[in-house]
Amino acid sequence: MKMDKKEKALSLKANLIAVFILISSFLYADVLIKGKVVNGKTKEALAFVNIGILNKNIGTVSDIDGTFQLKLEDQYNEDSLVFSMIGYTRESYQIIDFKRFFKNENAIEINLEARNYEIKEVIISDQLNWKTKIIGNETTSTSSFTSFKGDNLGAELGLRMKVKKHAKTYLEEFYFSIAYNSYDSLWFRLNIYSIKDDLPDKNLVPENIIVKTKIKNGVVTVDLRKYFITVEDDFIAALERLRDPYSIYTDTTSITISSEISFTLGKRKDENGKRVEEERLSKTPVLEFSSTFLKSAYIRKASHGFIVKETFARPGFWMKVSYKKY
């Protein structure tokens, strides 16, 4: 049976509407994106790239193999999705454009281009004219503690470090005190920011400073001398959460006894990825830094989220610095 011109037009219109609805259902729906971040030239996987919706506290960090996943809700379609890491160019997409561009991609690949940084060596000559000093909050308390806000990768906890004004100051070592840690290993990135309007501004570190520790309770020391970082004004030192502590567990099962008592059972993996034993995992925070109450700290909840200054608990972060005496 042949269709007349009017029927053909109606059929074409119906098909176009169906296609439009199909495309719109992707562009304006909540989407879980999965992908990998690589060096644009070498195609080498990039670990610990910050990935997030700008200023929305929704974000993550790429894993050791460059892979990531992040849920993009349709309410953020007009916002920007940002990929960035020290030493590489920054990539930014409007989320609705990102969904449109990658709608047919089974495996999303994000390419970042390397940038060259020149590290200027700091030579401390004439030792008598240099003074060493400890700055920050040198507490190792186990009765007062604080932690990251939320479970998102890329969350940061920072402290303002006060230095002698307009005196060239060389950063030698960074310390932080862990009051309690129940996990096999912890991964952090140390970020050091200049300050503008009492908030973190530019990152002053020339390359990633990755900190890995298995300490359950005690002080972790980070040697900064090879990075040759100097400042002439106050700055903010922040630890950033890089890996999910639960990633060492598999086959987790949540058990709720009451509104106040709940826990998770999980089988822990050894260094070869083999499941070795079942452990009880608390659902409350399992990483706590020593702190001092009623003092201010800087908090970011996820990669590329906004940073706020809160007066609650100041983490046990401190530094050894050297500055030239006049």
Most trustworthy range by pLDDT among 7-16, 24-33, 316-325: 316-325
Confidence of residue 17 (pLDDT cuts 50, 70, 90): very low
pLDDT exceeds 90 at position 192: yes
pLDDT exceeds 80 at position 125: no
Contact criterion met (CB below 8 Å) for 317 and 174: yes
Domain ranges of the chain: 5-112, 127-246+280-324
For residue 68, give every residue at least 6 positions away whose Cβ sits within 8 Å of its Cβ, in sequence order, or none.
Answer: 34, 35, 36, 37, 49, 51, 60, 61, 62
Confidence of residue 95 (pLDDT cuts 50, 70, 90): very high
Q: What is the pLDDT of residue 153?
A: 93
Q: Please give the span between the terminal C-alpha atoms of the chain, in angstroms, as a whole number.
A: 98
Q: What is the pLDDT of residue 78?
A: 95
**Could you tell me which residue, 2 or 263, shows the higher pLDDT?**
2
Q: What is the pLDDT of residue 286?
A: 76
| 204-228 residue pLDDT tens | 999 999 999 999 999 999 999 999 9
| 162-191 residue pLDDT tens | 998 878 899 999 999 999 998 888 999 999
| 256-293 residue pLDDT tens | 443 333 344 445 444 444 454 554 444 554 799 999 98
What's the CATH fold of domain 5-112?
Immunoglobulin-like (2.60.40)
| Across 7-11, 43-47, 70-74, 137-141, least confident range | 7-11
Which value, in Å, is the radius of gyration of the alpha carbons in the chain?
24
Q: What is the pLDDT of residue 19?
A: 41
DSSP 8-class letter at 225: G
Under CATH, which number does the domain 127-246+280-324 receive? 2.60.120
Contact criterion met (CB below 8 Å) for 224 and 183: no
Once rounded to an integer, what is the mean pLDDT over residues 11-32?
A: 51
Confidence of residue 102 (pLDDT cuts 50, 70, 90): confident
Q: What is the pLDDT of residue 116?
A: 76
**Could you tell me which residue, 146 or 245, shows the higher pLDDT?**
146
Once rounded to an integer, what is the mean pLDDT over residues 137-149?
A: 93
Q: What is the pLDDT of residue 24?
A: 46
Q: What is the pLDDT of residue 67?
A: 94
**Domains 5-112 and 127-246+280-324 alike in fold:** no
Per DSSP, the residues of 290-314 read EEEEEEEEEEE-STTPPEEEEEEEE
| Across 22-26, 29-33, 82-86, 98-102, least confident range | 22-26
* Residue tagged 């106040």 (tokens): 260
Q: What is the pLDDT of residue 312?
A: 81
Q: What is the pLDDT of residue 254?
A: 45
The per-residue pLDDT of the chain, averaged, comes to 82
Degrees to nearest 5, angle at CA 32 with 61 and 191: 15
